[in-house]
Structure 1
Amino acid sequence: MSALPIQNPIDKREEGEQIVPIEAEAEAAVVDPNDEVPDGGYGWACVAALSVLNAFVWGVAASYGVYLAYYLASDTFHNATPLDYAMIGGLNFAIAVGLAPLITVICRRLGTRLTMIVGVTVHAAGFVSASFAESVLALYLTQGVLIGIGIAFIFIPSVAVLPQWFQKRRTLAQGLSSAGSGVGGIAVSLGTNAMIKHINLAWSLRITGLICFAVNTSATCIMRDRNKFVRPTQVGFATYLLKRYEVKLLLLYSLINMFGYMTLLYSLSNYAVSIGLTQSQASLITALLNLGTFFGRPAVGITSDRLGRIEVAGVLAMFSGVTCFVIWIPATSYGALIFYALVAGAVIGTFWMTIGPLAAEVAGLKEVPSLLSLIWISIALPCLFAEVIALYLRRPGAGRPYLYPQVFAGLAYCVSSLFLAELWRVKRMKAKRAS
């Protein structure tokens, strides 16, 4: 796939007698410039392919909670601390989003599919090489850094594809594809725990890597972008977008929301162990969290397309925060935690399935890759440090060792919803003035 020419944000281009700054064009791009969005067609094949990729990329990443609980309960790596293991899991997400500007530029040069193939290979290599790790430093470099790089090369190019194929059903398509991470999370969480228990840790990592390589390669070959029609800007650091108030609000929502998501995702399994559940029961809680994701995300997609993407994302962020206080904190039994895992799973990952459509709504279709690049940069730090903060806030030996991490996650979700409420207000005022 040939690379598309793109101008630097500070360049200018001629239109007849006029020279128009690209910043001015960016402002005009808030109205969708592409009048022939298929709203389906081959886009449904891309939905299916991306659902598979989400299953074997983000579903696998979410299953790190099983590895985390195992590492914390065993002495696999001498001199490793709980913070080490938290950092390794956080690196998967932090590197995946922190490399966004670089991957955006690489994708512009190599094309979507070739960039993703590189990611599939590196991602699988991370798991296989982690199986040979004999020190926590080696685990950092393999299960942390290498897998994170692989996720970046797969995720960053793929997330901008679906908005190019859909308009009215954009969030539904994103929800269906995001549901794949729930299926993957269920299968991989249960499978990982079984492999560690009945085989060993090393072969669990190797088998996971080989399966991911085979499945993700097939799904990547199906993916197809519409860059030749949309001609996205694909700017690594689109700082000109920061001039818009709406963009700043979306970035703040993303930043704070991710603190809640990462804390809940990685803490829930170990919280289950802390209240007296077995390792197998804890892994089932992680699987049920992903089961909630499978059923919840398509429903969120349908609701968002009908009631408004900003409104639904904001309400569900607040709901996620409230459930931390009213369900998770009081949940001290297996049954209560199962209920919470199903409820939370349906809504906690709303960010991942709505952020693409929200970016299109805030900045326009052409600017989606560039705005997403800024968003991924903004969430790199919470992805890396959220679980580290959660483990630091723990009070081992106390009656409720995870109380402070639970409060931290709940507050993060609630505060993030306020920025979407302001974004909704601003968009509504602009619509009224336009009419």
Structure 2
Amino acid sequence: MDNKEDDEEVGVGSNVPTAIETDIHAEHKEIKAFPRHTRYMVIASCFVIQGLACGLIHSWGVQQEYLANNVYNGNPGKIKTLGYIGTLMFFGIYLWGMPAGWIAEVWSYRKLCLSGVFMMALGQLLASFCKEPWQLCITLGIVFGLGAGLVFGPTSTAPAGWFTKRRGLATGITVAGVGVGGLIIAPLTEFLVRETSVAWSQRITAIYIVVLGAISCFFVRVPVQDRSRSFRSFNWRAFNNRRFVIHALMVFFVTAAYIVPYTYLPQFWVRHGISSEDASVLIAVANVASSVGRIIIGFAADYIGVLNSLALSLGIAAISCLLIWPFATSIGVGVVMSLFYGFTAGGYWTLAPFAAAKLFGIEKLASNSGTFYTVSAFGAWLGNPVGGAILSGPGHSTNFLGMSVYVGVLWFVAFLMAAINRTTYSKKLFAAA
């Protein structure tokens, strides 16, 4: 019975070679060799680093709004350039996923995250001396984006290696740092900008990144580090694996869809008579629901199966965009949309690395997840521009129907990809896969 349970934890199927079973038991022994509190320190440290990296990206809009209205007001070209910075940061956090995951496995999770934290702080510090938007594109968009990309993948996957029965809950708590970081850092940034200046807010940000990030990096580690692997041993043949390709496609479609509602729902609500203040509250509701969903869906996945939870979450996200968004023209229905979308879409970020561990094994989770995050970068680059192009088309600027269908179809295709991998793992409909 124990062997079967262990097989299900790492997703290697029912016909598991004896060598793999031996490795799994060896992994359990490695975990037990550490004090019990080590695993919880790993979760806490990864939670903080995720909050710093993603929370600062989410709070860039505060600085962008101030610069656009007070520094570059009346200069449309520079204001347009400011708009690229958030996209560059968001793109960078995924673009560096593949090399970051591989470097973490070959070199060191701790040292890689420390390097990323240094780059994040350096980007903020250099930005404080910039006078032109194109300079901010380099310091924040590229330098900070590189640092965020170096820490995001490793901190998303490190906690999973410390758990076998509560892997979903551990991952969910970790990635909930994204939402919590946004909720804390955005108002903090607004306060610093208002009371000091954009430049000093960036310098202060660099200081707390170094302090909190360096302390957290000290605790980031995995129980087993395979020192026999090298940079030359990357397995490009993984793309010959049908499951791997299907999972990569799912990741691409999800990332293309994910950010569009967060970007355009406020505009949709204002167009339908809801005040901008209420629209911002509805987005805040979606962010809170996202943080809660990351934890609860991860917890549920430990019981009903990660692949089941993944398909269910993607399906509900598709339904919310196709059937709720078009009718969310009042605050009441807007709250329903925010709750359903935020909860299920946020849960995906818990389930994505957890599902990769289930399908392809825990021992290569960082490099595999890194590959998927790099695929996500192209989806992130595609999603908003296509949505904006649809919105600018005839007849779509008022009812947003074309955009909601576009996003809903992306989520539905991702659901189909997840369902296909679920059926290849187990043909039993109600199995906890």
TM-score norm. by structure 2 comes to: 0.81
Q: 1:309 to 1:136 in 2, by over 3 A?
A: same
Kindly state the Cα deviation for residue 270 of structure 1 after the two structures are TM-superposed.
4.8
Counterpart for residue 34 of structure 1 = 24
In the alignment, the residues of structure 2 paired with residue 269 and residue 74 of structure 1 have an alpha-carbon distance, to the nearest angstrom, of 23
Counterpart for residue 139 of structure 1 = 136
SS of 1:34's equivalent in the other structure is: helix
Q: Aligned runs of 1:390-409 on 2, under 5 Å?
A: 390-395=387-392, 400=398, 402-409=400-407
Counterpart for residue 415 of structure 1 = 413
Contact 1:393 1:404 in 2 (8 A): yes
Higher alpha-carbon deviation: 277-286 or 352-361: 277-286
Higher alpha-carbon deviation: 393-402 or 242-251: 393-402
Counterpart for residue 341 of structure 1 = 338
Counterpart for residue 312 of structure 1 = 309
In the alignment, the residues of structure 1 paired with residue 277 and residue 109 of structure 2 have an alpha-carbon distance, to the nearest angstrom, of 39
In the alignment, the residues of structure 1 paired with residue 228 and residue 374 of structure 2 have an alpha-carbon distance, to the nearest angstrom, of 23
In the alignment, the residues of structure 1 paired with residue 386 and residue 116 of structure 2 have an alpha-carbon distance, to the nearest angstrom, of 29
Do residues 62 (structure 1) and 62 (structure 2) align? no
Contact 2:105 2:226 in 1 (8 A): no
SS of 1:365's equivalent in the other structure is: coil
In the alignment, the residues of structure 2 paired with residue 45 and residue 165 of structure 1 have an alpha-carbon distance, to the nearest angstrom, of 11
Q: 1:327 to 1:353 in 2, by over 3 A?
A: same
Q: Which among 44, 56, 80 is matched to residue 48 of structure 1?
A: 44
In the alignment, the residues of structure 2 paired with residue 388 and residue 121 of structure 1 have an alpha-carbon distance, to the nearest angstrom, of 31
Q: 1:150 to 1:177 in 2, by over 3 A?
A: same
Counterpart for residue 156 of structure 1 = 153
Counterpart for residue 323 of structure 1 = 320
- 1:321 partner amino acid: A
SS of 2:425's equivalent in the other structure is: helix
Counterpart for residue 427 of structure 1 = 425
1:52-101 deviation per Cα after TM superposition (whole angstroms, max 9, x unaligned): 22222223323345556667777737343887555432222322222233
In the alignment, the residues of structure 2 paired with residue 356 and residue 296 of structure 1 have an alpha-carbon distance, to the nearest angstrom, of 15
SS of 2:176's equivalent in the other structure is: helix
Contact 2:101 2:368 in 1 (8 A): no
Contact 1:238 1:374 in 2 (8 A): no
Counterpart for residue 103 of structure 1 = 100
Contact 2:291 2:346 in 1 (8 A): no
Give the length in aligned residue pairs.
407
Kindly state the Cα deviation for residue 212 of structure 1 after the two structures are TM-superposed.
2.9
Bigger helix share: 2
Counterpart for residue 12 of structure 2 = none
Do residues 92 (structure 1) and 92 (structure 2) align? no
Q: 1:162 to 1:185 in 2, by over 3 A?
A: same
Contact 2:259 2:384 in 1 (8 A): yes
RMSD: 3.5
Contact 1:30 1:364 in 2 (8 A): no
Kindly state the Cα deviation for residue 404 of structure 1 after the two structures are TM-superposed.
3.2
Unaligned residue ranges in structure 2 (runs of 5+): 1-15
How many percent of aligned residue pairs carry the same amino acid?
A: 22
Kindly state the Cα deviation for residue 320 of structure 1 after the two structures are TM-superposed.
0.9
Q: 1:326 to 1:113 in 2, by over 3 A?
A: same
Contact 1:49 1:219 in 2 (8 A): yes
Unaligned residue ranges in structure 1 (runs of 5+): 1-25
Higher alpha-carbon deviation: 284-293 or 248-257: 284-293
Counterpart for residue 113 of structure 2 = 116
Kindly state the Cα deviation for residue 49 of structure 1 after the two structures are TM-superposed.
1.5
TM-score norm. by structure 1 comes to: 0.81
- 1:385 partner amino acid: L
Kindly state the Cα deviation for residue 123 of structure 1 after the two structures are TM-superposed.
1.0
In the alignment, the residues of structure 2 paired with residue 30 and residue 274 of structure 1 have an alpha-carbon distance, to the nearest angstrom, of 57
Q: 1:369 to 1:403 in 2, by over 3 A?
A: same
Q: Which among 211, 222, 238 is matched to residue 225 of structure 1?
A: 222
Q: Which among 278, 289, 293 is matched to residue 292 of structure 1?
A: 289
Counterpart for residue 9 of structure 1 = none
